[in-house]
Chains A and B, each alone.
Chain A
Amino acid sequence: MPEDLIERQSRRSVLLFSIAAIGGSIGVFSSLTAAIMSYIGGPNLTAALKGRQLEESKRALESQLELIKLKVERVNSTRIPLAKLSEIEEGAGVTFTDYALQPAVLFKTGERSCIARSAVCTHLGCTVQSNLVDGRIYCPCHQSYFDLAKGVPLSGPATLPLAQEPIEIDGDTVFLVKQQSPIKIGPGQIPMLPL
Chain B
Amino acid sequence: MIAFLEEWLKRRLPLEQLDFKRISEKSVPVHRFSWIYYLGGVTLLAFAVQVITGILLLLYYKPTTLEAHESIQYITRTVPGGLLVRNMHVWSSNAMILCMVLHAFTVLLSRAYRSPRELTWVTGMLSLLVVLGLGFSGYLLPWNNLSVYATMVGTQIVSMSTSFLPGEAARLGEWAASLLLGGQTVGQETLTRFFALHIVILPLILLALVTAHLVLIQMHGISVPISILRGQGEKIENWSGKSQKYMPRFLLKESAVWLMFVAAIAALSVVVPYDLFVPYTLLEPYSPLGSAPAGIKPEWYFWFLFYPFEMLPRTVVILCSLSFFASMLAAPWLLSGIPQLWKARFEDSKFPTYAAIAVGAAVALLTVFGQAIVVAVRGGA
- Interface on A for B, CB 8 Å cutoff? 1, 5-7, 9, 14, 17-18, 20-21, 24-25, 28-29, 31-32, 35-36, 38-43, 45, 49, 53, 56-57, 60-61, 63-64, 67, 70, 95, 97, 103, 105, 119, 123-130, 139-143, 145, 155-157, 159, 188, 190-195
Q: Which positions 270-320 of chain B face chain A at CB distance < 8 Å?
A: 287-296, 309-314
Q: Contact at A128–B381, with CB atoms within 8 Å? A: no
Flag whether B169 is at the interface (Cβ < 8 A).
Answer: no
Q: Contact at B291–A38, with CB atoms within 8 Å? A: no
| Residues in A whose Cβ lies below 8 Å from that of B362 | none
Q: Which positions 63-107 of chain B face chain A at CB distance < 8 Å?
A: 65-67, 70, 74, 78-82, 84-85
Q: Contact at B78–A49, with CB atoms within 8 Å? A: yes
| Residues in B whose Cβ lies below 8 Å from that of A191 | 184-185
| Residues in A whose Cβ lies below 8 Å from that of B79 | 39, 42-43
Q: Contact at A40–B59, with CB atoms within 8 Å? A: yes
Name which of B1-9, B149-157, B200-208, B333-341 contacts chain A: B149-157
Q: How far is the CB of A33 from chain B (nearest CB, A)?
A: 10
CA distance A154 to B83 in the complex (A): 44
Q: Contact at B152–A5, with CB atoms within 8 Å? A: no
| Residues in B whose Cβ lies below 8 Å from that of A97 | 288-289
| Residues in B whose Cβ lies below 8 Å from that of A119 | 291
| Residues in A whose Cβ lies below 8 Å from that of B78 | 43, 45, 49
| Residues in B whose Cβ lies below 8 Å from that of A43 | 78-80
Q: Contact at B152–A95, with CB atoms within 8 Å? A: no
| Residues in A whose Cβ lies below 8 Å from that of B85 | 35-36, 39
Q: Contact at B152–A14, with CB atoms within 8 Å? A: no
CA distance A145 to B70 in the complex (A): 34
Flag whether B321 is at the interface (Cβ < 8 A).
Answer: no
Flag whether B373 is at the interface (Cβ < 8 A).
Answer: no
Q: Contact at B185–A194, with CB atoms within 8 Å? A: yes
Lowest 9 A-B CB distances belong to which pairs?
A194-B187, A39-B81, A35-B81, A140-B294, A38-B80, A7-B244, A127-B291, A126-B292, A124-B156
